[in-house]
Structure 1
Amino acid sequence: MSGGVDSSAAAALLLEQGYDVIGITLKLWPQDCVNRAEDKCCGPQAVMDARSVSNKLGIPYYLVDESADFQKQVIGYFAEEYKAGRTPNPCVMCNEKLKFGTLISRAQQLGAEYIATGHFARTEKSADGSRMLLKRGRDPRKDQSYFLFSLRQDQLARTIFPLGQLTKTDTRTVARQCELKTADKEESMEICFVPDNDYGKFLQQANLVKKHKGEIVNVHGHVLGQHDGIEFYTIGQRRGLGISSAKPLYVVELDAINNRVMVGDESALDRDEFTVERCNWIPFASPPETFEVSAKIRYNHPGTGATITPQPNGTAKVKLHVPQRAITPGQACVFYQDDLVVGGGWIGR
């Protein structure tokens, strides 16, 4: 229970369906964390709200300290990706390692057969019963299946998504009918451990990154200016470059080895081929030699037609039917066939 309306409504719905429910919040913040986002997912206010909802529903409530794992598995990963010139997706990693990793272990210790979350997504068994499938949530505006693409079969088999068939409006209605204090709670779209959405400031204050001078160059290698570290830039960025130009310039590549930020005009952002790494396949153990999908290159991307060619080393080649802008190393690329999540991987160079 993250302290928001979605997980609160999920708990209420499970009770209505006859499940024996307990509430768990993962405490992800160390006591002395100066960068803590007080009102965000799993922060102190969220814990208070989750406890209040559990009391209202009459279910046992547990607060489990996983701050050390969160620091290592999520925040550590977050910093290392930026240092490597990639743009991380901490929500996917938190789901994989903690919410559907550690939480399942905690559930076993408490005698629970399943875990449930407030994600807008659906699971069901394949036609032959051999695989668990992951599908989009019914509400296209709130679908969160993108963030769950890396879940393994054993994780999906023990997970329930009570909100999968509902809209956000339906969810708030459930919470209001149950008189839960989170019913009208505003939701946050920012990274939970970055209080003001300024990730560069967070990295510095947490002593995870220090400024280090490097060159800003154009696509021909000509030096245009200086930067304070590639960690403070991402592909497609236009503002804050600190260089003058007759036409707009965008970050088109981050060279971690040479500590260089490469910029170019808007056309340099378009790509139609790339490789994804550490692929996870959901409907099948071994993917076909090639297949067609709709590929989402970031969460808020609508998806675009693509041909996928899996490789023996766990990567896959992606050929987009139409070039897309700002394909960013480190982000998740998730593959769909209609509502079905086929799988996905992490965008490489």
Structure 2
Amino acid sequence: MNKRVILGMSGGVDSCVACHLLLKENYDVIGVTMNLVPKGKLYDEEKGCCSLSSVMDAKIVAEAMGVKHYTMSFREEFDKKIIENFVREYSLGYTPNPCVACNKYIKFNSFVDKIKPLKADYIATGHYAKVEFDRTYNRYVLKRAKDLKKDQTYFLYNTSQNVLSKTLFPLSDFIKDEVRQIAKNENILTYSKKDSEEICFVQNKDHGSFIKMRNPELVKEGFFVDENGKTLGKHNGIVYYTVGQRKGLGIALGKRVFVSKIDAKNNTVTLSDEDLLYKEKIKIREEHFIPFDKLENNMIVNVKIRHGQTEYKGELFYERDELFVEFEKKVRAPNKGQSAVFYLDDLVIGGGIIDEVY
């Protein structure tokens, strides 16, 4: 009897080609599309990876491939776990990454729970990542995909052993151009569909306006200050700003200035020259490791402090039970609230949320 796989189908080219590849491997595939974004005028249901048109694309592709397809609602969990956290973090002066949280809480953990009645052997997604069982660690490990430009392991460092043991990533050994070519050759209607790179619940890439409309009580005018605390002018609310930002500040000082600090307690945003953005050390909260449960000894790793290909060499170590990274060279604008993810070559060691910068 063929092994059953529940495939998360967003309706994009990647998950559709993943479906094709799984069928070629003789898996019994069932496609599931997640409804994530809550309903209401605050949200645009045609944005992001879970739009109404994407649901229809997934249904059409599944039907063409002879695959059962279901739509499941995760709107309540998404609102509570992702959107509420996003708003709260910005109100505290952090810069959260909702895609990291969504993969942890929704696209894997909640997904695995909700599909239990379908009695699957595996789950699968169209992520660019690789999972293997490593005999050295005696655990399942997460590794970079072949396509380093599209690699999505940064968003997946929180994946548990339970989930990794049941997960297939059919695109792990393909580059994006090959995936699109497969889709074109197989007449998959999404072959030329653009990738979704926006935050699915924020319209016009304006997270500040979104937060003001959703939780106006959290947005209060305050003051821009310089590094010595001198008042420079008024700001619209700390939720509009992120460390490293230069454009859209709404203040002219006769020289280039950057947001270098956000102080939620005093409701101030510090503006300074670019050199104050460079930091040598970060503290990590909510750390999660994959090849082991806890770091036993200091470790030299490559670190991503935001999604992208740039990495920085640094040393991981505990100090009074708190995890730190000290970089070999100072790095520009590590943002509190973003995830720092640790690598040894292609192996994902783990990651956590940046809590303090020094």
Cross-structure match for 2:337: 330
Cross-structure match for 2:294: 286
How far did residue 210 of structure 1 move? 5.0
CA distances 1:276-333 after superposition (whole Å, capped 9, x unpaired): 11111111123232010001110025101101103564x4110000101111000000
Alpha-carbon distance in structure 1 between the residues aligned to 2:262 and 2:28: 50
1:52 aligns to 2:74 (yes or no): no
Moved more, 304-313 or 212-221: 304-313
TM-score by length of 2: 0.94
Cross-structure match for 1:195: 203
Percent identity between the aligned chains? 40
1:320 aligns to 2:327 (yes or no): yes
Alpha-carbon distance in structure 2 between the residues aligned to 1:304 and 1:128: 26
1:76 aligns to 2:84 (yes or no): yes
Alpha-carbon distance in structure 2 between the residues aligned to 1:199 and 1:37: 16
How far did residue 19 of structure 1 move? 0.6
CA contact (8 A) 2:91 2:218 kept: no
Match of 2:236 among 221, 225, 228: 228
Unaligned runs of 5+ in 2: 1-8
Return the letter of the residue paired with 2:77. Answer: D
Return the letter of the residue paired with 1:89. Answer: N
Return the letter of the residue paired with 2:210. Answer: F
Alpha-carbon distance in structure 1 between the residues aligned to 2:245 and 2:219: 18
Moved more, 219-228 or 106-115: 106-115
| Alignment of structure 1 residues 62-141 onto 2, 5 Å | 62-128=70-136, 130-141=138-149
Cross-structure match for 2:269: 261
Return the letter of the residue paired with 2:343. Answer: Y
1:303 aligns to 2:290 (yes or no): no
How far did residue 49 of structure 1 move? 0.6
Alpha-carbon distance in structure 1 between the residues aligned to 2:39 and 2:264: 33
Alpha-carbon distance in structure 2 between the residues aligned to 1:150 and 1:196: 28
Return the letter of the residue paired with 1:134. Answer: L
Number of corresponding residues: 348
| 1:311/1:54 CA distance change after superposition, 3 Å | farther
Unaligned runs of 5+ in 1: none
| Alignment of structure 1 residues 146-295 onto 2, 5 Å | 146-207=154-215, 210-295=218-303
Alpha-carbon distance in structure 1 between the residues aligned to 2:293 and 2:83: 31
How far did residue 33 of structure 1 move? 4.4
Alpha-carbon distance in structure 2 between the residues aligned to 1:327 and 1:119: 25
| Alignment of structure 1 residues 7-18 onto 2, 5 Å | 7-18=15-26
Moved more, 269-278 or 303-312: 303-312
TM-score by length of 1: 0.96
| 1:219/1:117 CA distance change after superposition, 3 Å | same
CA contact (8 A) 2:142 2:347 kept: yes
CA contact (8 A) 1:333 1:345 kept: yes
Moved more, 185-194 or 267-276: 185-194
Return the letter of the residue paired with 2:105. Answer: K
Root-mean-square deviation (Å): 1.5
Alpha-carbon distance in structure 2 between the residues aligned to 1:28 and 1:222: 44
